[in-house]
Amino acid sequence: MTADGLAGSRRFAIRRLPFSSASLSINSVAVTPSADLIAISVASRLNIGRIKDAVYVLRALDGAEVFRQYLPLYTRTQVLFPTNETLLYSTGEKTLLVRIVR
């Protein structure tokens, strides 16, 4: 799967996502203010099975995964970068603010 985008004057591309788009849907996407990281929240498209929801953070430059967190089923969380170094998301029970190490 390829997703191209333009953030200010910087061009970024995700060439390969770390999950199969056939079985998962994207719930939320966020980009850091500097446009160098992309957060994606995914959940199962299917009502059967035990595919966990997850949050991924990818480098915009090369699509490399820098963070992954699995969440309880049907969490369908939103993601937000309040700063270039922190990611905000919910686990269903609590909201977390995590520092992303590059």
Nearest by Cα to 67 from 75, 79, 76: 79
Residue 40 near residue 79 (C-beta atoms within 8 A): yes
Per-residue pLDDT of the chain (102 residues; tens, 9 = 90+): 334 444 444 554 545 555 555 677 889 999 999 999 999 999 887 776 677 899 999 999 988 999 999 998 888 899 999 999 999 999 888 999 999 987
- DSSP β-bridge partners for residue 1: none
Q: What is the pTM of this model?
A: 0.76
Residue where the block lists tokens 């992954």: 68
| Residue 32 amino acid letter | T
Do the Cβ atoms of 56 and 44 come closer than 8 Å? no
